[in-house]
Amino acid sequence: MKMSNRWNQLIYRLWAPIYDSTIEHFFKPGRQRALDVLALQSGESLLIVGAGTGADLPLLPEGAKGIGLDLSSEMLKKAKQKLPHCQAKIQLIQGDAQALCLTDNQFDAALLNLILSVVPDGTSCLSESLRALKPGGRVVIFDKFQPDDQKLTLIRRLVNFFSSLLGTDITRKFGRISQGLPFILISDEPSLAGGIYRVIKIHRT
Protein backbone atom coordinates (compact mmCIF):
# COMPACT_ATOMS: atom_id res chain seq x y z
CA MET A 1 0.00 0.00 0.00
CA LYS A 2 1.27 3.49 -0.87
CA MET A 3 1.46 5.83 2.12
CA SER A 4 -0.51 9.09 1.98
CA ASN A 5 -1.27 11.99 4.30
CA ARG A 6 -4.99 11.27 4.06
CA TRP A 7 -4.53 7.67 5.17
CA ASN A 8 -2.12 8.65 7.94
CA GLN A 9 -4.61 11.15 9.31
CA LEU A 10 -7.24 8.43 9.41
CA ILE A 11 -5.10 5.68 10.91
CA TYR A 12 -3.49 7.91 13.55
CA ARG A 13 -6.91 9.20 14.55
CA LEU A 14 -7.60 5.58 15.46
CA TRP A 15 -4.18 5.10 17.09
CA ALA A 16 -4.38 8.25 19.22
CA PRO A 17 -6.58 6.90 22.07
CA ILE A 18 -4.57 3.68 22.50
CA TYR A 19 -1.04 4.49 21.34
CA ASP A 20 0.44 5.30 24.75
CA SER A 21 -1.16 2.33 26.48
CA THR A 22 -0.11 -0.21 23.84
CA ILE A 23 3.03 0.10 21.73
CA GLU A 24 4.65 3.24 23.18
CA HIS A 25 6.12 1.31 26.13
CA PHE A 26 8.21 -0.68 23.63
CA PHE A 27 9.67 2.49 22.11
CA LYS A 28 10.60 4.36 25.31
CA PRO A 29 14.20 3.03 25.59
CA GLY A 30 14.86 4.04 21.96
CA ARG A 31 13.43 7.50 22.55
CA GLN A 32 15.55 7.95 25.65
CA ARG A 33 18.69 6.87 23.82
CA ALA A 34 17.91 9.27 20.97
CA LEU A 35 17.70 12.15 23.42
CA ASP A 36 20.92 11.06 25.12
CA VAL A 37 22.67 11.13 21.74
CA LEU A 38 21.12 14.49 20.88
CA ALA A 39 22.51 15.93 24.16
CA LEU A 40 20.19 18.92 24.09
CA GLN A 41 21.42 21.81 26.26
CA SER A 42 19.58 24.51 28.16
CA GLY A 43 18.87 27.46 25.89
CA GLU A 44 19.00 25.44 22.68
CA SER A 45 16.09 25.38 20.25
CA LEU A 46 14.59 22.02 19.23
CA LEU A 47 12.36 20.89 16.40
CA ILE A 48 10.41 17.68 17.04
CA VAL A 49 9.16 16.33 13.72
CA GLY A 50 6.33 13.86 14.24
CA ALA A 51 5.60 14.79 17.84
CA GLY A 52 2.74 12.28 17.95
CA THR A 53 1.23 11.85 21.41
CA GLY A 54 4.14 13.74 22.96
CA ALA A 55 6.06 10.75 24.28
CA ASP A 56 9.32 12.70 23.97
CA LEU A 57 8.08 15.72 25.92
CA PRO A 58 8.62 14.42 29.49
CA LEU A 59 12.17 13.39 28.50
CA LEU A 60 13.30 16.86 27.43
CA PRO A 61 15.73 18.84 29.62
CA GLU A 62 14.88 22.01 31.48
CA GLY A 63 15.72 25.22 29.67
CA ALA A 64 15.31 23.92 26.13
CA LYS A 65 12.67 25.43 23.87
CA GLY A 66 11.16 24.74 20.49
CA ILE A 67 8.34 23.36 18.38
CA GLY A 68 6.71 19.98 18.12
CA LEU A 69 4.89 19.31 14.85
CA ASP A 70 2.51 16.56 13.79
CA LEU A 71 0.00 15.99 11.01
CA SER A 72 -2.63 14.44 13.29
CA SER A 73 -4.75 16.78 15.39
CA GLU A 74 -5.88 13.81 17.50
CA MET A 75 -2.28 12.86 18.34
CA LEU A 76 -1.51 16.48 19.20
CA LYS A 77 -4.44 16.59 21.62
CA LYS A 78 -2.77 13.74 23.51
CA ALA A 79 0.59 15.54 23.34
CA LYS A 80 -0.89 18.70 24.88
CA GLN A 81 -1.86 16.67 27.95
CA LYS A 82 1.86 15.97 28.52
CA LEU A 83 3.00 19.60 28.36
CA PRO A 84 2.60 20.10 32.16
CA HIS A 85 5.16 17.28 32.60
CA CYS A 86 7.62 18.80 30.12
CA GLN A 87 10.50 20.86 31.55
CA ALA A 88 11.23 22.44 28.16
CA LYS A 89 9.13 25.18 26.57
CA ILE A 90 7.54 23.46 23.57
CA GLN A 91 4.86 24.84 21.27
CA LEU A 92 2.79 22.19 19.50
CA ILE A 93 1.58 22.89 15.98
CA GLN A 94 -0.20 20.91 13.28
CA GLY A 95 1.62 20.61 9.98
CA ASP A 96 3.07 18.44 7.25
CA ALA A 97 6.57 17.13 7.96
CA GLN A 98 7.23 17.02 4.21
CA ALA A 99 6.63 20.78 3.82
CA LEU A 100 7.40 22.50 7.10
CA CYS A 101 5.72 25.83 7.75
CA LEU A 102 8.95 27.08 9.32
CA THR A 103 11.72 29.45 8.30
CA ASP A 104 15.24 28.37 7.31
CA ASN A 105 18.13 28.15 9.78
CA GLN A 106 15.90 28.33 12.86
CA PHE A 107 16.80 25.45 15.20
CA ASP A 108 19.90 24.13 16.92
CA ALA A 109 18.68 20.52 16.85
CA ALA A 110 15.94 18.29 15.48
CA LEU A 111 14.47 15.05 16.77
CA LEU A 112 12.93 12.64 14.25
CA ASN A 113 11.58 9.70 16.20
CA LEU A 114 9.51 7.15 14.23
CA ILE A 115 8.59 9.59 11.48
CA LEU A 116 10.75 8.77 8.43
CA SER A 117 9.02 5.39 8.20
CA VAL A 118 5.58 6.99 8.47
CA VAL A 119 5.48 9.98 6.11
CA PRO A 120 4.76 9.27 2.43
CA ASP A 121 8.08 10.85 1.37
CA GLY A 122 10.89 10.31 3.85
CA THR A 123 13.40 12.24 1.76
CA SER A 124 11.25 15.38 1.77
CA CYS A 125 10.78 15.06 5.52
CA LEU A 126 14.51 14.80 6.22
CA SER A 127 15.34 17.54 3.71
CA GLU A 128 12.84 19.92 5.31
CA SER A 129 14.17 19.15 8.79
CA LEU A 130 17.71 19.96 7.66
CA ARG A 131 16.50 23.18 6.04
CA ALA A 132 14.99 24.34 9.33
CA LEU A 133 18.28 23.75 11.17
CA LYS A 134 21.05 26.26 11.59
CA PRO A 135 24.23 25.35 9.66
CA GLY A 136 26.04 22.76 11.78
CA GLY A 137 22.83 21.86 13.56
CA ARG A 138 22.27 18.24 14.51
CA VAL A 139 19.53 15.71 13.87
CA VAL A 140 18.94 12.49 15.76
CA ILE A 141 16.71 9.85 14.18
CA PHE A 142 15.21 6.85 15.96
CA ASP A 143 13.43 4.61 13.49
CA LYS A 144 13.39 1.26 11.73
CA PHE A 145 15.32 0.83 8.50
CA GLN A 146 16.12 -2.04 6.22
CA PRO A 147 19.93 -2.40 5.82
CA ASP A 148 21.12 -0.48 2.75
CA ASP A 149 22.88 -3.54 1.33
CA GLN A 150 19.96 -5.93 1.89
CA LYS A 151 17.69 -6.94 -0.95
CA LEU A 152 13.98 -6.42 -0.41
CA THR A 153 12.38 -9.86 -0.16
CA LEU A 154 8.92 -10.88 -1.28
CA ILE A 155 7.99 -11.74 2.31
CA ARG A 156 9.01 -8.30 3.53
CA ARG A 157 7.00 -6.70 0.76
CA LEU A 158 3.98 -8.74 1.81
CA VAL A 159 4.37 -7.89 5.50
CA ASN A 160 4.84 -4.24 4.55
CA PHE A 161 1.45 -4.19 2.83
CA PHE A 162 -0.18 -4.88 6.19
CA SER A 163 2.17 -2.67 8.24
CA SER A 164 1.42 0.21 5.86
CA LEU A 165 -2.25 -0.22 6.65
CA LEU A 166 -1.28 0.43 10.28
CA GLY A 167 0.64 3.55 9.31
CA THR A 168 4.30 2.51 8.96
CA ASP A 169 6.64 1.31 6.21
CA ILE A 170 9.16 -1.45 7.08
CA THR A 171 10.99 -1.41 3.73
CA ARG A 172 12.72 1.97 3.85
CA LYS A 173 16.49 2.35 3.71
CA PHE A 174 18.19 5.31 5.34
CA GLY A 175 20.78 5.50 2.58
CA ARG A 176 18.08 5.90 -0.04
CA ILE A 177 16.08 8.42 2.01
CA SER A 178 19.13 10.58 2.75
CA GLN A 179 20.91 10.37 -0.60
CA GLY A 180 22.13 13.75 -1.83
CA LEU A 181 21.08 15.71 1.27
CA PRO A 182 23.48 18.16 2.96
CA PHE A 183 24.67 16.35 6.09
CA ILE A 184 27.57 14.49 7.68
CA LEU A 185 26.91 11.16 9.38
CA ILE A 186 28.17 11.30 12.97
CA SER A 187 26.95 7.99 14.38
CA ASP A 188 24.68 5.07 13.55
CA GLU A 189 23.96 2.50 16.26
CA PRO A 190 21.57 -0.43 16.60
CA SER A 191 18.63 0.01 18.92
CA LEU A 192 15.50 -2.05 19.54
CA ALA A 193 14.39 -5.39 18.07
CA GLY A 194 17.87 -6.70 17.47
CA GLY A 195 18.96 -3.65 15.51
CA ILE A 196 15.94 -3.34 13.23
CA TYR A 197 15.51 0.03 14.91
CA ARG A 198 18.49 2.39 14.82
CA VAL A 199 19.59 5.65 16.40
CA ILE A 200 21.34 7.85 13.83
CA LYS A 201 23.00 11.22 14.39
CA ILE A 202 23.81 13.61 11.56
CA HIS A 203 24.99 17.22 11.31
CA ARG A 204 23.79 19.66 8.69
CA THR A 205 26.59 20.93 6.45
pLDDT at residue 32, rounded to an integer = 98
Identity at 40, one-letter amino acid code: L
The domain that holds 138 is classified in CATH as: 3.40.50.150
Total of domains in the chain? 1
Domain hosting 144: range is 5-204
pTM above 0.85, yes or no: yes
Task: Give the pLDDT of the chain (205 residues) as one tens digit per residue.
Answer: 788 999 999 999 999 999 999 999 999 999 999 999 999 999 999 999 999 999 999 999 999 999 999 999 999 999 999 999 999 999 999 999 999 999 999 999 999 999 999 999 999 999 999 999 999 999 999 999 999 999 989 998 898 888 998 999 999 999 999 999 999 999 999 999 999 999 999 999 9
Q: How are strands ordered across the β-sheet holding 89-94? A: 89-94, 65-70, 45-49, 107-113, 133-144, 197-204, 183-190
Environment class of residue 133 by beta-carbon count within 10 Å: exposed (0-12), middle (13-18) or buried (19+)? buried
pLDDT at residue 182, rounded to an integer = 98
